[in-house]
Amino acid sequence: MTTVVNVYDAKTRLSSLLASVEAGEDIVIARAGRPVARLVRIVTPAGQQPGRGSASGRIVLPPDFDDPLPDIEAAIEASTS
């Protein structure tokens, strides 16, 4: 089912419109009676959402990753002297 609302109603009832969209309803937002946008539910296939640790083993940091850079050290020393 599709519901048409004007921009003012969409602004004032956004939370309830989003709840309707989550329930599967399509919402069309109209300006002066002319449809300009559609709110639809985004369906994400199972397994597509990255979870905690999903990049484990894919990113390798070198052992000296967090060592200070020599030029930065020199700049800091020069600015504090």
The secondary structure element, H or E, covering residue 1 is none
The secondary structure element, H or E, covering residue 15 is helix 14-22
CATH classification for the domain delimited by 1-43, as one of 3.20.20.210, 3.40.1620.10, 3.10.180.10, 3.20.20.70: 3.40.1620.10
d(Cα 20, Cα 9) in Å, to the nearest integer? 14
Percent of the chain with pLDDT over 90: 47
Average pLDDT, the chain: 86
pTM exceeding 0.85: no
